[in-house]
Amino acid sequence: MIENNGRIIVVDDTPANLHLLSNLLEEHEYEVRAFPSAKLALMGMKNFLPELILLDITMPQMNGYEMCEYLKEDEKWRDIPVIFISALNEIFIFVKDF
Per-residue pLDDT at 11 exceeds 80: yes
Domains of the chain (ranges; CATH) run 7-85 (3.40.50.2300)
Q: What's the mean pLDDT in 86-92?
A: 57
For residue 12, which phi and psi values (nearest 5 degrees)? -160, 135
Average pLDDT for the chain = 88
pLDDT tens sequence across 30-64: 999 999 999 999 999 999 999 999 999 989 999 99
- Among 21-30, 70-79, 89-98, which is the least confidently predicted range? 89-98
- Report pLDDT for 88: 60
**Is the predicted pLDDT of residue 1 greater than 70, yes or no?**
no
Distance CA 78, CA 63 (A): 17
